[in-house]
């Protein structure tokens, strides 16, 4: 059956959930003093009133975020808790959309590519783009992960694979990001600062790059980590909903106030870095600031990182894999620091000089060098370190901090929130001169 329908945004809610903490005390003559002390301590603690999470689904389609969930695949498995529609654009009539209904629920369904077309439960869709639209509560499970919104499948131009893209309103998207980026039990104002930073970053990337492709964001740290519903909690929803529509902005050097790429990283190590030295862009608000806050929040084993070593051949291979222009260097023989920012007791490497067996040399930004050698960044955690040759290997030692160090320091935000600072104060500290504005 085919019908013509209009795609619109829709409202939605999940069941309310209230978290209560029940404290019971049994009085006895010998414990009265202890109880009194406990009560005094408890009364002094800040109580966290958790509100009922409301899933914000009702917003104009122009604000929806398109998240790339699967890239270049030939099959995937979908499951829904409600019936769903499969909508496909009519190539000849772009304003018309055909709808096919599927009433199976809680049944894993295989979506496959066959002869350049997507087949769902045996039915072939000849259109290169199909959208899966679950009924209320607008939830689907893709390859084991739960997400809100819709799922769009797009066959790649060569017809050999397809991409899967989650179309999701910004607030449920951000709940899946903030909960993946910060523990839900952190201070509410730190979570709100993270929500605003993540919202700003997402809309910056969407605006800058989204028009030229079918998706806005990757779901990895390449952009920002998004784990869908599994990252959600009452605290996370509270931070997202209380900052609904808020982004941070700054005066551009050659224009009006606008949003900027509000980078953030885990632990700056004591001083954040100028974006120019790390990403090569220059925004007036992305300058380094001292951060006395993260050291008390991050565990020592995460604030400082242990010496790591890599085989020289591996380092050459990994650099070549990402930077083919280095081929002319041959085997990398010398790695030296060509630029660094000094902060007194430590320095962050910003530029690396590579000299090869052919005698030729080249330079890389230190952050690019780090991620080429360790793309996960889990071992080679930051560029606050020193480099030496040790027993025929490259060794990196005296490491501190985790991440690129530009913009908001997440552990620092938690430290500031613990000291009573609010989200606005945290953001204007790490993004000097920035102002929070509402975009919807
Ligand atoms: Zn910090």
Ligand 1 center from residue 79 Cα (angstroms): 42
pLDDT value of residue 52: 54
Ligand 1 center from residue 237 Cα (angstroms): 25
Element (H, E) at 277: helix 275-278
pLDDT band at 273 (very low <50, low <70, confident <90, very high): very high
Ligand 1 center from residue 430 Cα (angstroms): 9
Ligand 1 center from residue 188 Cα (angstroms): 18
| pTM score | 0.86
Report the distance separating Cα 104 and Cα 119, nearest Å: 16
427 touches 238 (CB < 8 A): no
Mean of the per-residue pLDDT values of the chain: 87
Residues with CB under 5 A from ligand 1 (ion): 268, 291, 294, 409, 412
Ligand 1 center from residue 153 Cα (angstroms): 40
Ligand 1 center from residue 414 Cα (angstroms): 10
State how far the alpha carbon of 48 is from the alpha carbons of 18, 45, 183, 187, in Å.
12, 9, 15, 9
Ligand 1 center from residue 75 Cα (angstroms): 42
DSSP helix, strand, coil percent of the chain (3-state; round to 5)? 25, 30, 40
| Backbone torsions φ then ψ of 289, nearest 5 degrees | -135, 150
Report the distance separating Cα 174 and Cα 156, nearest Å: 28
Q: What is the mean pLDDT of residues 113-120?
A: 92
Domain extents in the chain: 65-168, 172-297+405-438, 301-400
Q: What is the pLDDT of residues 392-409, one digit of tens each?
A: 999 999 999 999 999 999
Ligand 1 center from residue 323 Cα (angstroms): 30
pLDDT value of residue 282: 86
Ligand 1 center from residue 295 Cα (angstroms): 7
pLDDT value of residue 90: 55
pLDDT value of residue 48: 52
**Whether the predicted pLDDT of 4 surpasses 80:** no
Q: What is the pLDDT of residues 12-32, one digit of tens each?
A: 322 222 222 323 223 334 445
Structure tokens at 51: 């509100």
239 touches 53 (CB < 8 A): no
Ligand 1 center from residue 47 Cα (angstroms): 27
**Whether the predicted pLDDT of 260 surpasses 60:** yes
Ligand 1 center from residue 388 Cα (angstroms): 26
**Whether the predicted pLDDT of 324 surpasses 60:** yes
Q: What is the pLDDT of residues 370-392, one digit of tens each?
A: 999 999 999 999 999 999 999 99
pLDDT value of residue 257: 87
10 Å CB burial of residue 384 (0-12, 13-18, 19+) is buried
Q: What is the pLDDT of residues 60-98, one digit of tens each?
A: 999 999 999 999 999 999 999 999 999 886 554 555 567
pLDDT band at 55 (very low <50, low <70, confident <90, very high): confident
Q: How many CA atoms lie within 13 A of 107 on its CB side?
A: 11
- ∠ CA 63-189-244, rounded to 5°: 20
Closest to 177 in 3D by CA, of 221, 218, 225, 140? 225
Ligand 1 center from residue 201 Cα (angstroms): 19
Ligand 1 center from residue 411 Cα (angstroms): 6
**Whether the predicted pLDDT of 264 surpasses 60:** yes
What is the DSSP track for 286-354? Answer: ----B--SSTTTS-HHHHEE--EEEEHHHHHHHHHHH-GGGGGG-SEEEEEEEEEEE-SS-EEEEEEEE
pLDDT value of residue 343: 96
Q: Which residues neighbour 41 within 8 Å (Cβ) at sequence distance 6 or greater?
A: none
pLDDT band at 49 (very low <50, low <70, confident <90, very high): low
pLDDT value of residue 95: 57
Element (H, E) at 372: helix 366-373
391 sits in the region (left: phi over 0; alpha: psi -120 to 50; else beta) called left
pLDDT band at 172 (very low <50, low <70, confident <90, very high): very high
pLDDT value of residue 6: 28
Share of the chain above pLDDT 90, in %: 78
pLDDT value of residue 37: 46
pLDDT value of residue 96: 59
Ligand 1 center from residue 401 Cα (angstroms): 8
């Amino acid at each position: 059956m085919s019908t013509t329908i209009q795609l619109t945004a829709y409202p939605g809610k999940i069941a309310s959930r209230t978290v209560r903490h029940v404290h019971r005390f049994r009085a006895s003559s010998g414990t009265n003093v202890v109880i009194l002390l406990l009560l005094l301590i408890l009364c002094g603690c800040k109580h966290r009133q958790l509100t009922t999470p409301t899933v914000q689904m009702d917003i104009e389609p122009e604000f929806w975020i398109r998240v790339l969930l699967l890239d270049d695949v030939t099959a995937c498995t979908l499951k829904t808790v409600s019936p769903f529609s499969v909508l496909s654009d009519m190539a000849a009539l772009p304003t018309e959309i055909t709808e096919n209904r599927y009433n199976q629920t809680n049944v894993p369904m295989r979506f496959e590519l066959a002869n350049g077309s997507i087949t769902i439960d045996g039915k072939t869709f000849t259109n290169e783009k199909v959208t899966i639209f679950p009924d209320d509560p607008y939830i689907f499970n893709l390859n084991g992960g739960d997400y809100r919104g819709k799922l769009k499948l797009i066959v790649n131009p060569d017809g050999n694979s397809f991409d899967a893209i989650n179309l999701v309103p910004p607030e449920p998207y951000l709940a899946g990001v903030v909960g993946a980026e910060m523990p839900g039990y952190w201070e509410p104002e730190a979570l709100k600062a993270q929500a605003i930073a993540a919202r700003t970053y997402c809309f910056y990337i969407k605006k800058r790059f989204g028009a030229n492709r079918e998706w806005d964001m990757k779901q990895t740290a390449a952009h920002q980590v998004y784990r869908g519903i599994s990252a959600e909690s009452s605290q996370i929803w509270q931070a997202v909903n209380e900052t609904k529509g808020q982004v941070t902005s700054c005066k551009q050097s050659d224009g009006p106030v606008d949003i900027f790429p509000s980078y953030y990283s885990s632990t700056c190590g004591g001083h954040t870095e100028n974006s120019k030295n790390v990403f090569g862009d220059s925004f007036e608000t992305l300058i380094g600031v001292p951060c006395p806050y993260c050291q008390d929040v991050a565990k020592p084993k995460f604030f400082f990182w242990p010496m790591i070593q890599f085989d020289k051949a591996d380092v050459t291979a990994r650099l070549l894999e990402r930077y083919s222009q280095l081929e002319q260097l041959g085997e990398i023989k010398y790695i030296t620091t060509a630029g660094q920012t000094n902060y007194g007791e430590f320095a962050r490497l910003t530029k690396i000089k590579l000299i090869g067996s052919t005698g030729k040399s080249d330079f890389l930004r230190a952050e690019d060098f780090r991620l080429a050698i360790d793309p996960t960044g889990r071992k080679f955690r930051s560029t606050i370190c020193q480099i030496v040759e040790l027993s025929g290997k490259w060794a990196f030692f005296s490491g501190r901090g985790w991440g690129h160090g530009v913009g908001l320091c997440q552990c620092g935000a938690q430290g500031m929130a613990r000291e009573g600072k609010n989200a606005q104060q945290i953001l204007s500290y790490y993004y000097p001169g920035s102002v929070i504005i509402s975009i919807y």
